[in-house]
Amino acid sequence: MGGLNTALMIGVSALDVTQGALDATSNNIANVNTPGYTREEAQISELGESDSDGEVTGGGVSLDGLQSIRDELLNMQINQQTSLQSAANSESASLDQVQSYFTTTGADIASEFSAFSSSLVELSGNATSSSAQEGVIAAGQNLAAAFNSTANGLTGVQTQADQQVPDTVSQINTLTAQIAQLNGQLAQVPASEDGGTTQDQLDQDVAQLAGLTNIQVTQTNDGETITTGSGTPLVVGTQSYNLSSSTGANGTQQVEDSNGNNITSSITGGTLGGSLNIANTVIPGYLTQLNTLASQFATAFNSAQAAGTDSNGNAGAAFFSGTATLANAAADINVSLTSPSQLAVNSTTSSSGNNVANLSAALTTTLPSGETAPGAYASLVFNVGTAASNANTQSTAIGDNLTQLTTLQGSVSAVSIDEETANLMRYQTAYEAASRIVSTVQVLDNAALNMGSSTAF
Amino acid sequence: MLATLEQSQQTLNTALEQVSTGLSVNQPSDNPTAAASMVENTIETGDVDEYTQNVTTSLATVSQANSTLSSVVTALTSAQSAGIEGANGTNTTANMQALATQVQGILNNVIADANTSVGGVYLFGGTSTSTPYTADPSSPTGYTYNGNNETNTVAVGDQTSVAVNLPGSQVFSNSSNNVIGSLSSLVSALQSGNSSAVETATTAVGAAINFIGQQQVFYSNADSQLSSQETFLQQDTVTLTTQASNLIGVNQSAAATELSEAETDNSAALAAIAKVMPNSLLNYLSTPT
C-alpha cells in the first residue's frame, strides 16, 4: 500500500508535468508572431497504477513531450495554391505593364492610326498643299514611333521577366540545399517524436519554394522528397539537386535540371513559371501580332504609294521602311520619305482625282492577316486586355482560396493568445494545487515523525 | 482581416478612378471588348472631324467659285453690250477702238477671275499649282492654260468624295465653247472695225454667257451635296460620341453612388478591424496579485 512518500512522489510528478506544460504555453506565447511557428501542446498521460495486495494506487502523471500541432495535408494544399498564386501574380504584374502600352494615351498606336488617317483625309481636300503633305509625313512618323515604342516596351517587359529566371533559380537552389540539410537533422529525431522547430523551419522553406516553382512533396523514411515540373528531383533525403538556367536558342532563358536536360516547359507554377510563361509565350505572341501588323500595313501603304507619282513626277517611293525582317518589323519601322514632295499624291492613270484615295484605302482594306490594320490592332488590344483581366481574376480567385486555407491552417497551427492565456491560468492553478500536495505531505510527515514525542502536545 | 481591408481599399480606388477620369475603361483589362471597339471608334471619330473640316473648306471653295463665275457672267454681259454697240455699223474708228479697249479690260478681268485662288489653291487650275492663265502672244487667244484637266476630289465620307472644281480648260478655254477665245476675237474684231466680224464675235460671247451659266449648275450641285453631307457628318459625330460614352464612359450618378458605397464599406471595414484587433482574453483579466 502507498505511504506518504507515494503521495509526495505523485505531487512532485504533477509539479514536473505542470512545469513542462507551462514551458510549452510560454513558448507558444513568445512565438505568437514568429512566421512558420507551429503551436506546441504538452502531451500528458497518467502513470501506471500499482497494485499492492489488491489495493490499487494511482502512479501520478508524466509528460511524454511537446507535440507541434500541424496538418500535413493542409500544408500541401497551401503549397500548391501558393505556386499557382505566385505564377498568376507574376503574370498579372507583367501584363499590367504590357497593357499600359495599349492604353489610349494620345501617343499609342490607336491614336496615331487615327491621326494618320485624319491627315490623309485632310490631304484629300488639298492634295497639292505641301503643309497637308507634311502633315501626312509627320503623322506617319508618329505612327512609326508608336509602333517602335510599343515593341520596345513589350521587349522591355520580356527582358525583365527573363532576368528574373536566373535569380529565381538561384533562390530555388539555396532553399533546396537548406531543405536537404534540415532533412538530415530530422532524420536524427526518433520517429515517435515531433520535429518541432526543425520541422517548422522545413515547412517554412518548402512554402517559400512553392512560391518559386511548382513542387510535389512526398514523405519518405529519409524525410521529404521534393520534385518540380514532371518529376525532376530537387531534394531526395539529404541530397539536393541544383537547377540551372541558360540562354536558349530563341534568346530567352531556359531552365535545366542537374543533368542538363531542358525542363523549361514543365515549370508551370511559382514566380519561375510565371516569368517563363511571360518571356517565352505571352510576349512573343503579342510581338508576332504587332510585327505582322507593322509589316503588312507598311507593305499595303507602300504599294499605294507606288501606284501614284509624287509632286516631282517620279513614281511613288516606299513610304515606310525597316519592316524587311518580320521579327523586328514593329521595332524598326520608320518613314523613309524625307520631303513632303515625295508623297505620291498624283494618279498615274486616270485624269480624275488623285492617288490620295489609294493611300487612304491602305487603312481600310483587308490585310493578308484577314483584318484591316486598325482591326488587327483592335484584336491585339482585345487579347492583351483579356489576358490581363484573366490574370487579375485568377490571382484574386486563388488569393481567396489561399486565404481560406491559411485561415484553416491558422485555426489548427497558429497560436491563439486567448487559448494560451486560459492554459496559463489552468496550469497555474494545477501548479498551485500540486504544491499544496507537497506542503500537505510535509505537514503530515512532521506529524508522523513527532508521534509519541512529548513536545508534540 | 488584412485581405478584406485590401479588397475594400481596391474597390474604393477603382470607384475613385472611374469618377475622377469619367471613364469606366481606363486600361484594356477593364473591358477588353470595349477597349478593342474604341480603336475603331477613335479612328472613325478623327476621320469624321477631318471630313467635316473638308466639307467646310469645300463649301467655301465652291461658293467662291460660284460667285466668281457670276462675276464672269456680269463681265461677259457688258462685253456683249459693247459688241452689240460695235456691230450697229454707225461707229467711228475712234469709237470702235474705245470699245475694243473696253472689251480688252473686261478680258483682263475675266483672266483675273479665272486665276482666282483660295488658300493658295487655284479654283480653275485643275490640280496644278501653276497660275492657270498667263499671257502668251503666240497663242491665238493671247493666253495659255498652264493648269491640267483634272478635278479636285475631296473625301467627305468613308465611301464618299465630291468633285469641288472644274478645270479652266473646261470652263474658260473649252475647245467647243472658248470663253476667253470669244472675248479676244471680239477685241480683234473691234480693233479691225469690221462690223460683221464684230457681230459674229458678239454671238460667240452670248453663247459663252450661256455656257458659264451651265457650268454654275455643277457648283450648285456640289454645294447641295456638301451641305447634305455636312448634316450627315454632324449626325455621325453624335453617333460616334454616344457609342464612345456607351463603351467606356461612366454613368456619373451610378459611379458617384458606387464611390460613396465603397467609402462606407471601407470605413466600416476599418472600424470593425480596429475594434477586433486589440481584443483578447488578457483585456478582461485582472493583473495577478
Report pLDDT for A21: 92
Q: Are A245 and A261 in contact (CB under 8 A)?
A: no
A37 CB-near residues (< 8 Å, 6+ apart): A31, A200, A415
Instruction: List, in sequence order, the alpha helices (H) in A233-279.
Output: 270-277
Taking the CA of residue B34 and the nearest CA in chain A, the distance in Å comes to: 8
Crossing angle for the helix pair B32-86 and A109-125, to the nearest 10 degrees: 10
For range B33-55, the mean pLDDT: 88
Return the C-alpha cell found at A217.
512533396
Whether the CB-CB separation of B152 and A127 falls below 8 Å is answered with yes
Average pLDDT over residues A200-214: 89
Going by pLDDT thresholds of 50, 70 and 90, the confidence category of residue A7 is confident
Of B28, B148, B153, the CB nearest to A385: B28
Q: At what angle do helices A373-413 and A283-306 cross, to 10 degrees?
A: 170
B96: helix, strand or coil: helix
- Which pLDDT belongs to residue A457? 46
Question: What residues of chain A lie within 8 A of the CB of B31, using their CB?
Answer: 385
Of B162, B150, B161, the residue nearest B218 (C-alpha): B162
Q: What pLDDT, on a 0 to 100 scale, did the predictor assign at position B278?
A: 66
CB-based contact, B278 to chain A, within 8 Å: no
DSSP labels, A159-171: HHHHHHHHHHHHH
User: Rounded to the nearest 5°, which phi and psi values hold at B251?
Assistant: -75, 105
| pLDDT tens figures, B246-261 | 888 888 888 888 889 9
Q: What percent of chain B has pLDDT over 70?
A: 98
For residue A1, is pLDDT > 50?
Answer: no
CB contact under 8 A, B280 and A118: no
Q: How far apart are CA A328 and CA A292, in angstroms?
A: 10
| Chain B hits for A364, Cβ within 8 Å | 158
Cα-flanking dihedrals φ and ψ of residue B177, to 5°? Answer: -150, 85
Residues of B in contact with A371 (CB under 8 A): none
A364/B158 CB distance under 8 A? yes
Give the mean model confidence (pLDDT) for residues A196-208: 86
Give me the amino acid identity at B261: E
Predicted structure pTM score = 0.77
Contact call for A385 and B40, based on CB within 8 A: no
Cα–Cα distance between A223 and A229 in angstroms, integer?
Answer: 20
- Give CA–CA dist B190/B97, Å, rounded: 7
Would you call A382 and B285 a contact, using CB atoms and an 8 Å cutoff? no
Which three three-digit cell numbers place residue B262?
465603397
How many of the other CB atoms lie within 10 Å of CB of A130? 15
pLDDT band at A185; cut points 50, 70, 90: confident
What pLDDT digit, counting tens, does each position of A27-81 carry?
899 988 888 788 888 888 888 887 777 788 888 898 888 888 878 888 888 888 8
pLDDT of residue A298: 93
Cβ contact B54–A122 (<8 Å): yes
Mean pLDDT of chain B: 86
Residue pair A356/A124 in contact (Cβ under 8 Å)? The answer is yes
When CB atoms are compared, the residue of B32, B54, B150 closest to A382 is B32
DSSP-derived letter for residue A280 is I
In this predicted structure, the answer to whether residue A289 has a pLDDT above a threshold of 60 is yes
Q: How would you classify the pairing of strands A334-335 and A320-321?
A: antiparallel
pLDDT tier, B137 (very low <50, low <70, confident <90, very high otherwise): confident
Q: Which of residues 69-88 of B touch A (CB under 8 A)?
A: none
Q: Which one is predicted more confidently, B57 or A126?
A: B57
Taking residues A197-222, report their average pLDDT.
Answer: 86
Least confident of A176-185, A259-268, A314-323, A348-357: A348-357
CA distance B39 to chain A (A): 5
A139-182 pLDDT tens trace: 999 999 999 999 999 999 999 888 889 999 999 999 999 999 98
Q: Quick one: DSSP state of residue A58?
A: -
CA angle A141, A145, A151 (to 5 degrees): 150
Which residue do the cell numbers 517602335 mark?
Answer: A148
> Chain B residues with CB inside 8 Å of A417's CB?
280-282
| ipTM of predicted assembly, 2 dp | 0.72
CA distance A99 to chain B (A): 6
B13 at the A interface (CB within 8 A)?
A: no
Residue A317 region by backbone torsions, left for phi larger than 0, else alpha for psi between -120 and 50, else beta: beta
What integer is the mean pLDDT of A310-339?
88
So what's the pLDDT on residue A14?
92
When CB atoms are compared, the residue of A117, A128, A403 closest to B43 is A117
Smallest CA–CA distance from B47 into chain A, residue: A118
Residue A125: pLDDT over 80: no
In total, the C-beta contacts within 8 angstroms joining chain A to chain B are: 151
CB within 8 Å of A85: residues ≥ 6 apart: A211, A395, A398, A399, A402
pLDDT of residue A299: 93
What's the pLDDT at A49? 81
CA nearest to A197, candidates A60, A28, A53 = A28
- Angle at Cα B63 formed by Cα B59 and Cα B68, nearest 5°? 150
Residue from B4, B24, B37, B39 whose CB has the most chain A CBs within 10 Å, to mutate: B39
Contact B40 A375 (CB under 8 A): yes
- Is the pLDDT at A353 greater than 60? The verdict is no
Please list every residue in chain B whose beta carbon sits closer than 8 Å to the beta carbon of residue A351: 148-150
CB contact under 8 A, A385 and B152: no
The residue among A204, A187, A279 whose CA lies nearest residue A239 is A187
pLDDT bucket at A380, cuts 50 / 70 / 90: very high
Q: What residues 181-240 of chain B have any CB closer than 8 A to a CB of chain A?
A: none
Q: How far is B193 from chain A (nearest CA, A)?
A: 42
Of A2-11, B35-44, B108-117, give the lowest mean pLDDT range: A2-11
Contacts of B53 in chain A (CB under 8 A): 122, 125
Query: What integer best gives the mean pLDDT of chain A?
Result: 87
How far is the C-alpha of A304 from the C-alpha of A357, rounded, in Å?
Answer: 9
Determine the average pLDDT of the residues in A17-24: 91
- CA-nearest residue of chain A to B3? A403
In the predicted structure, residue B169 carries a pLDDT above the cut 80? yes
CB-based contact, B28 to chain A, within 8 Å: yes
For residue A408, list its beta bridge partners. Answer: none
For residue B244, CA distances in Å to A24, A260, B22, B148 come to 66, 54, 12, 44
- Which residues between 149 and 178 in chain B have a beta carbon less than 8 angstroms from any beta carbon of chain A? 149-155, 158, 161, 163-164
Percent of chain A with pLDDT over 90: 29
Task: Decide if pLDDT at B42 tops 90.
Answer: no
DSSP state of A456: G
Which three cell numbers, joined as nine digits, stand for A316?
511613288
H, E, C per residue of B212-281: HHHHHHHHHHHHHHHHHHHHHHHHHHHHHHHHHHHHHECCHHHHHHHHHHHHHHHHHHHHHHHHHCCCCH
Checking if the pLDDT of A19 tops 70, the result is yes
Q: What is the pLDDT of residue A430?
A: 92
- The answer on pLDDT for B49 being more than 50 is yes
